[in-house]
Amino acid sequence: MGSIISMFFLLFSCINVEVQAQNNIFNVLNFGAKADGKSDDSKAFYGAWIKACNSNGTSAVWIPKGTYMLNPVTFNGPCKGPINFQIEGILTAPSDKSSLFLDCWIGFKHIDQLEMNGGGSLDGQGPLAWPYNTCSGKIEHCIPLTTSVKFAYMTRSRISNITSINSKGFHMSLYECSDVMIINVKVQAPDNSPNTDGIHMAKSKYIQIFDSEIATGDDCISIGDGSRTINVTNITCGPGHGISIGSLGKTPNEDIVDGITVTKCNLTSTKNGVRIKTWSNPSYPNTVSNLTFDQIYVNNVANPIIIDQNYCPNMHCKQGFSRVRISGVAYRNIWGTTSTQVAVNLQCSQANPCENIELRDINLVYHGLPATSSCSNAFYSAWKEACNSNGQSTVWIPKGTYKVELVTFDGPCKGQINVHIEGALIAPSDGPSRFLNCWIGFKHVDRLNVNGGGSLDGQGPSAWSYNTCSRKLEHCKTLATSFKFEYVTNSIINNITSMNSKGFHMSLFRCSNISISNVKIQAPDISPNTDGIHISNSKDIQIFKSKIATGDDCISVGPGSRAINITNIKCGPGHGISIGSLGRRPNEEDVYGITVKDCNFISTMNGVRIKTASQPSYPNTASKITFDNIHVNNVSNPIIIDQYYCPHRKDCKQDSSKVKISDVTFNNIWGMSKTKIAVDLECSQANPCQKIVLRDINMDYHGLPGKLATSFCSNVQGEAYGKQKPPSCIKRP
């Protein structure tokens, strides 16, 4: 009997629960909704909501199939229990002008445990509103169009199986929300619908968005300030502007962005792929950290990987530096096709360079060919981290093509640094980059090792036509040096290629104990002032086993150079290997201890040369210089001392050079001279060359048949030994 009574009470309780559940379902039709697509049903919806919100236990607002026109409405909480907002019908927004610039069309506020689902749709009537959008054309003082559905201060909730169509502004927006899941939603708007972000969030945390399809006119998903622990998974995006973090830094007191993961997403024909964007002017402080973009497939996507810290949507922003710090960003396993040649574009802030940026397993193709990369201040962040590390560190640039903005890597550093360049670095080609000191610089660094087999493309053809220094000496602006080392000591540069520098390819200033080997330098013979390697005010420098073909001196040794050893260099085309020019400026330091040995010159404008200015000319000395075992083939002026150096052959006043040249040996120099005068020693009348030695000279004139090469001497004191072809012109003292 007891068992029968217990069973009775159990059955009664179940029936009671079922009845209570049915009583907590509030059908909007029962509250006066017409579902005719014309009448305003917002009061009926709100009435059903109030009943559900004030009911104990789980309640439901049910919107059956049909078309419902709703004026703007906000469903406020807190409520007594969880609420299921089940949309099976089509909700249509108003189209009158009074509804264009509101905060939202449908809002949910201060609600815990909301479940929105049902397979229905929200039509924002966007086409009637988009012509009134001004925010896509200007930044300041524009009023955004109405968001279709906005969730504010909502917690522990779920939105699923809902479609948003043609929102006026954003489709969905989350503000100050926590622990919200968005799953299996569809967002639809044409690619020309302005500022129609699919899902936007700000100041929210623990948000999950997955298994959804978004096609719209702006960001598929945009993640604003204060977003933390956000997981975006399995999203199909396109058309649209991709998935974006930002924009950030536009307003003061923004909250940080941290812990964002975007994974297993598919982007097709979008204007961007995965993007971080921050303002540069105005810009307010903020930080972005711990971001991961993983397993992203892109199909015909512009800018698949982009950090833009100069974000300016209308291109009329004042120039400045973003104050937003970006760090700890990983791009992994991103592959597909890009519609822009630059597929990886990392334009970071000069004031706050990006730090700890990881690129791993990137495979992007541009029209069947490898795409390129562009980095600004991203390389500097890697350098900064390596420089501050104890012990030996490596900055690794993997294979790929990187567009690199102007950057100088400063020391001193805590330990030895290896810069391992496997990729191809490409310089900017715009106007401001032409006349700067250098493109890539290293300064105040000890124990630097640059290697890797990669290349530097200075984009010289974009700048050479602006060169004026090839036409005049005074008041000309030199073009940017590609690779400059200043105050660098105990270092090695090996297995690097420099192509088409704007100005000099490599430059060493105030350096000591440097070894340069196995470098390749390439530029056409018409490229102006593109010295291969220029040295000044440096000592204990070794350059060997390298090939240099350029438009000016293969190697130029300037004032203050001491203990320089140049060995086994293949030079040509170019202007040969030169000491100088010297004496052009006051207080130049002396040059001594220079050895050029075992070199091969092919079709150069000069061979081995010492050049000094005559007017103006300032005192200096060049001594203890040896040119040994030099082969020349079709070379003009194989052996030349020019103390009347005037590169333009005009506007130079003839006068005696104040530079003293002494103790110079030309030994075992042989081959073919392109000019009849193969040995041309034109020294200063005021300071004749002293202790000049010609030993074993054997050169033919590669001119008219039967013509012999000759030599010419002026103000030279010295001696000649061994074979002298052409006959020596040196007169013994």
Q: Which residues are catalytic?
A: 241, 575
The closest alpha carbon to 510, from 488, 542, 481, 483, belongs to 488
The CA distance from 82 to 31, in Å, is 20
In which element (H, E) is residue 14 found? helix 2-23
Chain CA centroid to CA 13, Å: 67
Residues 673 and 699: beta-carbon distance below 8 Å: yes
Residue 644's nearest CA partner among 676, 677, 673, 610 is: 610
- Count, residues in the chain: 733
Rounded CA-CA distance 558/544 in Å is 18
**Residue 321: Cβ within 10 Å count:** 15
Phi, psi of 130 (to 5 degrees): -55, -35
* Nearby residues of 615 by Cβ (< 8 Å), 6 or more positions away: 652, 653, 654, 655
CB 679 within 8 A of CB 711: yes
Q: How far apart are CA 166 and CA 170, in angstroms?
A: 9
Whether the CA torsion 384, 387, 390, 392 is positive or negative: it is: positive
Are 649 and 622 in contact by the 8 Å Cβ rule? The answer is no
| 334, 298 contact by CB (below 8 A) | yes
Half-sphere exposure of 40 (CA within 13 A, CB side): 9
Other CB atoms within a 10 A radius of the CB of residue 370 amount to: 14
Question: 209 - beta bridge partners?
Answer: 182, 232
Strand partners of residue 722: none
Q: Rounded to 5 degrees, what are φ and ψ at 237?
A: -125, 125
- Best CA proximity match to 435, nearest among 477, 465, 486, 484: 477
Contacts of 271 (CB under 8 A, 6+ apart): 240, 241, 242, 302, 303
Parallel, antiparallel, or unpaired: how do β-strands 369-370 and 355-366 relate? antiparallel
Chain-centre distance of CA 341, in angstroms?
A: 13
How far is it, in rounded angstroms, from Cα 637 to Cα 645? 14
Strands 114-117 and 155-160: parallel
* CA atoms 576, 582, 585, 587: torsion sign: positive
